Amino acid sequence: MRPKLTVGAGLAAGVALLLVAPQARAHHAFAAEFDANKPVKFVDATVTKVELINPHSWIHVDVKQPDGTVENWAIEAGSPNILLRRGITKDTLKIGQKIEVEGYQSKDGSHRANGRDLKLPNGQQLFLGSSGPEGAPYEVQRPGVDVAPGK
């Protein structure tokens, strides 16, 4: 006996697919958007906006160029949960704060980068959750927490 698909079940499946599709599109592999051969490092970036959202958080920074112009860059980071596990909370980054950030530029050459490392004004280094070619150093990098392999 072959099961029959009712109109209600088909409609429910269609609605579920429509709801999931944007999330599936939003999540991507590093190599789909970013270029491992285009590293970027901003030594004196000024935080302009922080978006702790799923599936990827974004840190927006102003970067002063050698000619005096200012470029606004969007730095992709891990999800809020991943950042929290790495010591980054909603209070870690403040608008106007100077930070150092490293990552990899987008393939299309726009002012977007996949973030890897973040250095705060107090010298604290944090991992942004990049899915870049180097991978994660350790899962947690909070002061006083030893997470080195084998410990």
pTM comes to: 0.70
Q: Does a structural domain hold residue 112?
A: yes
Q: Does a structural domain hold residue 118?
A: yes
Q: Does a structural domain hold residue 123?
A: yes
Range of 93's domain? 30-127
Report yes or no: 129 and 77 within 8 Å, Cβ to Cβ: yes
- Number of domains composing the chain: 1
What CATH code is carried by the domain that includes residue 77? 2.40.50.140
pLDDT tens track for 44-99? 999 999 999 999 999 999 999 999 999 999 999 999 999 998 889 999 999 999 99
Provide the sign of the torsion angle of the four alpha carbons 19, 24, 26, 27, taken in this order. Answer: positive
Q: Does a structural domain hold residue 68?
A: yes
pLDDT tens track for 11-25? 455 544 444 444 444
pLDDT tens track for 101-123? 999 999 999 999 999 999 999 99
Buried-state track 59-76, b at ≥16 Cβ within 10 A, e below 16? bbbbbeeeeeeeeebbbb
